Chain A
Amino acid sequence: MAAVSPKERVVVVSQSSLLVFLYIFLYFPIFFIIYVSFVDNTVWPFPPVFTWEWYERLWIMSDFHLGLLNSFLIGIGTGALSSIFAASAAIGLLKYQSRLRGLFAVLYLSPLFVAGILIGISSLMFHRNILGLPGNLTSAILANTTQALSFAFLVILAQLTRYDWRMDEAAMVFGARPARCFWEVTLPTIWPSVLGAFLVSFILAFNNLEVTFYNVGAIPTLPTIAWGTLRHGIEPELYSLATVINGLVFFILIILFFLIRLGFVRLGYRGQ
């Protein structure tokens, strides 16, 4: 390797320091919570005394079990609705060239600019007063979908802009009706973005507090329980809860990563 001039060395060192700093900034709070969830003295956890106590307490708190299940259901429902609606919206927007397409796109995206708490309150009013829906899981799923749809729409739109719609024309000329066309040609090409939209809206709804809080009634979800326990100060069980959820998400991502690396899952086709 060629000799590195002092000037280059300065550049390399400063760039690496910035990189390290950014990662610490991003991950320190998360790793700190994981660390604290395993120690006895949570207020000032140095030097550490390791314990499983917070996990044991979390395990026996039945509220959390129910909350986990409900959050999961809200996530699944919202993910499914958002990705289906967002896919239809993005396909419609791109397939039918309209002069108003910019306006349509902004209308789909505008929930991004509205505070979550406003979506929560207005959904509550709308569901109760107009639809006559009581606060429950259905209401929470619908309310979360209004928010998650915008994110899902962005994710799908990003991939769909690269989709060649003449592919659909080709399928039609060769005898495929529009529905067949979608299943045989469009969906197999764009499904990674639909899956991505599902995951994003699942996670948003799973973790959501402000929208869910107003619409779920008295049904517990993980974020509403966590919010409720705050009244008694931050309980160490919350650290272990955060760790478990983070751990689950990382676990799923790692499995996905290896499935893709080892070729068990193909995320769409690979072009040249």
Chain B
Amino acid sequence: MSAALPHHLTSLQLRDIAMTEPALKLEQVEKSFDKVRAVDKVSLEVNTGEFFSLLGPSGSGKTTLLRIIAGLETPGNGTVHIGGRDVTRLPPYARGIGMVFQDFLLFPHKIVADNIIFPLKMQRLPEDKQKEQLNWILSLVRMEGYEDRYPHQLSGGQKQRVALARGLVSRPDILLLDEPLANLDLELRKEMEVEMRRFQAELDIPFIYVTHNQEEALTLSSRMAVMHNGKFEQVGAKLDLYNNPKTRFVAAFLGSPNYIQGQIKRMEGTIAILDWRGLDLRIPAPANATSGDKIDYFLKHERILIQSLRESEPAKGENRFEGTLRDIIFKGQHSAYFVVLENGEELVVNAATEMPSLKIRHAVEVGWLPEAGDAFLKEED
């Protein structure tokens, strides 16, 4: 790459060129184990300053993809560029990356300080520089005073901070995180989510964050990719993925929505009328849909209005159904309301907790506009 650059450029101009390169570029990356295709022609660009999440269920290939970026696996095909440099054939130790592992993987025989400066030692940085970097990162992760402890003398959250410090201390081109919060309890996870966003924002190093937990991905990242069967289902800004899922899988996965199956009775322009086990349901018509098509319709819990009978008039084109409130599960600021409709189907509705007019076993009304859900042609398995 650099060999092709003209000689007369100043280092500043060279840096500007480097800045315009994405921090990470994957092109058509493939990896198979035996006959299973773990990563299938994945292309991706991540820029400096991004917090990028790879979200997918276990076995979706997200960890394999991360290991390919780290150099711990070699791709069968495709290229990996980090900071504008082709690292596809480089071993992990020549890639200049940082990484945070699922079980922290701190070196058990080294004290915290030696764990953290390990990457600097490998780079043969002078010792006073090492010390300087160590103090800087210790204060960033708020672990001053723990330098001389061994990893087994730390709590889970402290280990996590040390693992992050070790990953960041050399200011790598990119930080890879492999389910780093999976082994922490909920409270600590919330705390570390906030901390990780702070580190990322302060250091401006791109984070590539692998998780199966959609809440984490939605909380932390600026952009994300949903991975399934080794492929990217959709890549984009997190709200865009959440609000406008492009594939059936993303729609079914993000937000764990209500799942409605039916058959199109007739078309009314952009609206299709669905026969939903005896109820007529208005949905946005998927492309190329015609009457008789089987449809999967995903409706997020918080997009449904719930109220006592005839509390308000339905808006134009709104779906309105009567049902019975089976149960309420209190979840803090909001509650989950389980409503059984006349056709026997159950919907989960997320709404404010304080709704004194709603009583269990009483009749209620639910309503939503067709666009509130996402409709897809049923996939034949």
Contact = CB atoms under 8 A, between A and B. Distances in A.
B360 interface: no
A166 interface: yes
A189 B98 CA distance: 23
Contacts of A176: 93, 118, 122
Interface in A107-142: none
Contact of B72 (A173, A269, A271): A173
Interface stretch (B99-107, B214-222, B298-306, B346-354): B99-107
Given A166-B105, A167-B105, A185-B107, A269 B70 contact: no
Contact of B108 (A174, A177, A269): A269
A173 B97 contact: yes
A189 B108 contact: yes
Contacts of A184: 107, 118
Interface string B73-102: 000000000000000000111011111010
A177 B95 CA distance: 12
Interface residues of A, number: 22
A170 B105 contact: yes
A21 B113 CA distance: 52
Interface string B229-253: 0000000000000000000000000
Contacts of B119: 174-175
B65 to A, nearest CB: 15
Contacts of A272: 152
A77 to B, nearest CB: 29
B152 A169 contact: no
Nearest to B123: A175
A247 interface: no
Interface in B118-155: 118-119, 122-123, 150, 152
Interface of A is mostly: helix
A177 B90 CA distance: 12
Nearest to B94: A175
A8 interface: no
A187 to B, nearest CB: 10
A268 B150 CA distance: 13
B92 A173 contact: yes
Given A271-B152, A272-B152, A174 B118 contact: yes
Contacts of B123: 175
A228 interface: no
A175 B109 contact: no
Contacts of A170: 99, 101, 105, 107
Interface string B160-195: 000000100010000000000000000000000000
A173 B71 contact: yes
B108 A271 contact: yes
A158 interface: no
A30 interface: no
A34 interface: no
Given A174-B122, A175-B93, A180-B122, A169 B107 contact: no
A172 B166 contact: no
A261 interface: no
Interface string A241-272: 00000000000000000000000000011111
Contacts of A171: 107, 118
Contacts of A164: 103, 105
B98 to A, nearest CB: 8
Interface string A132-174: 0000000000000000000000000000000010110111111
A270 B151 CA distance: 10
Interface of A: 164, 166-167, 169-177, 180, 184-185, 188-189, 268-272
25 contacts: A166-B101, A166-B103, A169-B105, A170-B99, A171-B118, A172-B93, A173-B70, A173-B71, A173-B72, A173-B93, A173-B97, A173-B98, A173-B99, A174-B93, A174-B98, A174-B118, A175-B96, A175-B123, A176-B122, A185-B107, A188-B109, A189-B108, A269-B108, A270-B152, A272-B152
Please name the 4 residue pairs, one residue from A and one from B, whose CB atoms are nearest each other, closest first.
A175-B122, A174-B119, A170-B105, A269-B109
Given A174-B170, A176-B93, 14 more contacts: A166-B103, A169-B92, A169-B105, A170-B99, A170-B101, A170-B105, A172-B72, A172-B93, A173-B72, A173-B93, A174-B118, A175-B122, A271-B108, A272-B152
